[in-house]
Amino acid sequence: MDDRLFRNAMGKFATGVTVITTAVNKEAHGMTANAFMSVSLSPKLVVISIGEKAKMNEYIKESGKFAVSFLSEEQKEMSMIFAGQIKEKRNVNFKWMDELPVIDGALVNLTCNVHNSHVEGDHTLYIGEVTDISLNDGNPLSFFEGQYKNIS
């Protein structure tokens, strides 16, 4: 099976849009990702998937922790900034939780300590133990067939 067929098939799975962040030497780093899921209630664990060649992979290894912000439908531009789709420099004002940057106004912000990691194929799966959560009301920004979608 070719790579395009696989990508097209995976694009049929509607996902939320998150920004994964961490801090190294108090400097914020972030990337857009839709590869996120909850794993366990006890302990409270989540997993993110980061490409082996992504700079974020090294930042998380160095910091030993990460945050996940679930974006609202009003935060498409924020997703585009961290996906590298907007090239001009933009100022992002982070909110800080547990010494980690998170996206202000996101539906959910959660902070995690790296509990475990596994290299699988061309990605590293980071299992994070959740240390803090904040919630906001709103509708999620979604992604389907390679495009942003709003769920009303």
For the chain, the structural domain boundaries read 21-146
Number of neighbouring beta carbons within 10 Å of residue 28: 16
Query: For 59-86, what is the mean pLDDT?
Result: 95
One-letter amino acid of 19: V
pLDDT (0 to 100) of residue 146: 87
pLDDT classification of 105: cutoffs 50, 70, 90 = very high
* Residue 113, token pair as written in the block: 């300590």
Under the banding of pLDDT at 50, 70 and 90, the label for residue 152 is low
Instruction: Tell me the mean pLDDT in the region 25-43.
Output: 95
Q: What is the pTM of this model?
A: 0.93
What is the arithmetic mean of pLDDT over 108-137?
A: 97
pLDDT, tens digit, for every residue of 52-70?
999 999 999 999 999 999 9
- Reading the block at residue 115, the tokens are 């509990």
Q: Which CATH architecture has domain 21-146?
A: Roll (2.30)
- H-type alpha helices, 1-152: 3-10, 55-63, 76-82
For range 123-138, the mean pLDDT: 97
